[in-house]
Structure 1
Amino acid sequence: MTALSALLFQFAQAQDVFNEMSYSPEQTVFSLNSPSKGVVRIYDNGISGKLLKTIRMKSDGADKWKVIIKGNLKGKFYTFDIGKGETPGVFAKAVGVNGRRGAILNMLDTNPDNWDADVRPLIKSPADLVIYEMHWRDYSVDASSGIINKGKFLSLTEPKAIEHLKQLGINAVHILPSFDYASVDETHLDSAQYNWGYDPVNYNVPDGGYSTDPYSPVKRIYEFKRMVQALHNAGIRVILDVVYNHTFDLKNSNFEKTYPGYYYRYNADGTPSNGSGCGNETASEKPLMRSFMLESVKYWINEYHIDGFRFDLMGVHDIETMNEIRAEVNSIDPTIFIYGEGWSAGNCAYPVEKLAVKANILEMPGIAAFSDDMRDALRGPFNDDHKGAFLAGISGEEESLKFGIVGGIMHPQVDMQKVNYDKKPWALQPTQQISYVSCHDDMCLVDRLKSSVPNADADQIIRLDELAQTAVFLSQGVPFMLSGEEMLRDKKGVHNSFSSPDTINSLDWNNMDKYPQVFEYYKNLIQLRKNHPAFRLGDADLVREKLQFLPIQPCMVGFILKDNAGGDKWKNIIVLLNGNNSPCDVDVPQDEYTVVGCDGVINENGLGQLAGGKVTVDAQSALIMYNK
Structure 2
Amino acid sequence: MTTTDHALATGSPFPLGATVTEQGVNFAVVSEDASQLYLCLFDNEGKEQAPLPFLHKHRGIWHMEVLGLTEGQHYGLRADGAFQPKQQQMFNLKKLLIDPYAKDLSDKLVWHPDQAAMTQDGQANLTDSAYCVPKSIVRTPVSSPERPARVRVSPSSRALYELHVKGFSQNLPIADALKGTYLGVISAPGIEHLKSLQITTIQLMPCFSFMTERHLHVLKLNNYWGYNPVSFFAPEPSYAQHDAVVEFQQMVDGLRQAGFEVILDVVYNHTAESELDQSSVSFRGLDNARYYRHQDDQYLNFTGCGNCIDTFSPSSIRLICDSMRYWVNVMGVDGFRFDLGVDMGRTHHDFTPNAPLLQAILQDPVLSNTCLVMEPWDIGPNGYQVGQFPKGFFECNDQYRDTIRRFWRGDKGAVPEFATRFMGSRDYFHKGQKSALHSVNYITYHDGYTMRDLVSYHQRHNQANMEDNRDGHGDNISQNFGAEGETDDANIQAQRLNQQLCFMATLLLSQGTPHILGGDELSHSQQGNNNAYCQDNSLTWLNWQTSHARTELQSTIATLMTLRKRYPILANLHLDDDPLYQHTNADHIEWFNEQGTPMTGQDWSDKNRHYLSLTLTSADLSARFWIVFYNTDTPIAASIPTDHKSLTPLYNTPSMAIENNQLKCAYRGVFIGQID
TM bin (shorter chain): 0.7 to 0.9
Q: 1:263 aligns with which of 291, 303, 306?
A: 291
Give the total of aligned pairs: 559
Shift of 1:291: 1.8
Asked if 2 retains the 8 angstrom alpha-carbon contact of 1:147 and 1:158, the reply is no
Determine what percentage of the aligned residue pairs are the same residue. 21
> Is the deviation greater in 135-144 or in 463-472?
135-144
- Which residue is equivalent to 2:148? 118
* Letter matched to residue 553 of structure 2: V
* Letter matched to residue 373 of structure 1: Q
Shift of 1:273: 1.0
- Paired with 1:501 and 1:242, the residues of 2 have a C-alpha distance of 20
Shift of 1:608: 6.1
Shift of 1:133: 0.3
* Letter matched to residue 211 of structure 1: A
* Letter matched to residue 575 of structure 1: I
- Which residue is equivalent to 2:569? 534
- Deviations for 1:366-391, whole angstroms, at most 9, x for unmatched residues? 11111111111122xxxxxxxxx222
Asked if 1 retains the 8 angstrom alpha-carbon contact of 2:165 and 2:185, the reply is yes
Matches within 5 A, 1:147-296: 149-183=178-212, 193=222, 195-213=224-242, 219-248=243-272, 249-251=274-276, 252-267=280-295, 269-296=296-323
- Deviations for 1:425-484, whole angstroms, at most 9, x for unmatched residues? 897211110011001011111111112233271111111111111111111110110011
SS of 1:107 mapped into structure 2: coil
- Which residue is equivalent to 2:630? 578
Shift of 1:157: 2.0
Shift of 1:548: 3.1
Shift of 1:409: 1.7
Structure 2 length-normalised TM: 0.77
Asked if 1 retains the 8 angstrom alpha-carbon contact of 2:103 and 2:233, the reply is yes
> Is the deviation greater in 618-627 or in 332-341?
332-341
Q: 1:94 aligns with which of 96, 101, 104?
A: 104
* Letter matched to residue 424 of structure 2: G
* Letter matched to residue 139 of structure 1: F
Shift of 1:152: 0.6
- Paired with 2:432 and 2:79, the residues of 1 have a C-alpha distance of 46
Q: 1:620 aligns with which of 636, 644, 668?
A: 668
Q: Work out whether 1:343 is the aligned partner of 2:377.
A: yes
Matches within 5 A, 1:580-599: 580-590=632-642, 591=644, 592-599=646-653
Shift of 1:282: 1.5
Change in CA separation of 1:322 and 1:32 when aligned onto 2, cut-off 3 Å:
closer
- Deviations for 1:43-80, whole angstroms, at most 9, x for unmatched residues? 135xx821134211012323221121111322221111
Asked if 2 retains the 8 angstrom alpha-carbon contact of 1:408 and 1:427, the reply is no
Matches within 5 A, 1:483-498: 483-498=518-533
> Is the deviation greater in 391-400 or in 320-329?
320-329
* Letter matched to residue 399 of structure 1: P
- Which residue is equivalent to 2:128? none
Q: Work out whether 1:555 is the aligned partner of 2:614.
A: no
- Which residue is equivalent to 2:18? 21
Q: Work out whether 1:132 is the aligned partner of 2:161.
A: yes
Higher helix share: 1
Shift of 1:148: 5.4
Asked if 2 retains the 8 angstrom alpha-carbon contact of 1:240 and 1:306, the reply is yes
Shift of 1:250: 4.8
Shift of 1:317: 2.1
- Which residue is equivalent to 1:74? 71
Asked if 2 retains the 8 angstrom alpha-carbon contact of 1:198 and 1:243, the reply is yes
* Letter matched to residue 343 of structure 2: V
* Letter matched to residue 106 of structure 2: G
> Is the deviation greater in 68-77 or in 99-108?
99-108
> Is the deviation greater in 286-295 or in 548-557?
548-557
Q: Work out whether 1:378 is the aligned partner of 2:404.
A: yes
- Which residue is equivalent to 1:408? 425
- Paired with 2:444 and 2:333, the residues of 1 have a C-alpha distance of 24
Asked if 2 retains the 8 angstrom alpha-carbon contact of 1:81 and 1:87, the reply is yes
- Paired with 2:250 and 2:384, the residues of 1 have a C-alpha distance of 33
Shift of 1:539: 5.2
Structure index of larger Rg: 2
- Deviations for 1:536-571, whole angstroms, at most 9, x for unmatched residues? 237563698433333356233322211x35x5742x
> Is the deviation greater in 552-561 or in 225-234?
552-561
SS of 2:102 mapped into structure 1: coil
Shift of 1:513: 6.1
Asked if 2 retains the 8 angstrom alpha-carbon contact of 1:25 and 1:74, the reply is no
Shift of 1:102: 1.1
Asked if 1 retains the 8 angstrom alpha-carbon contact of 2:559 and 2:651, the reply is no
> Is the deviation greater in 509-518 or in 455-464?
509-518
SS of 1:548 mapped into structure 2: strand
- Which residue is equivalent to 2:121? none
- Give the alignment's Cα RMSD to 1 decimal: 2.9
- Paired with 1:610 and 1:180, the residues of 2 have a C-alpha distance of 61
SS of 1:49 mapped into structure 2: coil
Matches within 5 A, 1:506-517: 506-512=541-547, 515-517=550-552
Asked if 1 retains the 8 angstrom alpha-carbon contact of 2:574 and 2:587, the reply is no
- Which residue is equivalent to 2:595? none
* Letter matched to residue 395 of structure 1: K
- Deviations for 1:225-282, whole angstroms, at most 9, x for unmatched residues? 0000000000011110011111111542522211121112223x32111110111122
- Deviations for 1:88-147, whole angstroms, at most 9, x for unmatched residues? 222222221125221012324xx5xx553321112232x221110010211111266777
| Structure 1 unaligned spans of 5+ | 1-14, 214-218, 380-388, 411-421
Q: Work out whether 1:38 is the aligned partner of 2:17.
A: no
Shift of 1:321: 3.7
- Deviations for 1:142-177, whole angstroms, at most 9, x for unmatched residues? 266777511111112211100110011111110100
Change in CA separation of 1:184 and 1:535 when aligned onto 2, cut-off 3 Å:
same
* Letter matched to residue 596 of structure 1: L
- Paired with 1:247 and 1:103, the residues of 2 have a C-alpha distance of 20
> Is the deviation greater in 173-182 or in 257-266?
257-266
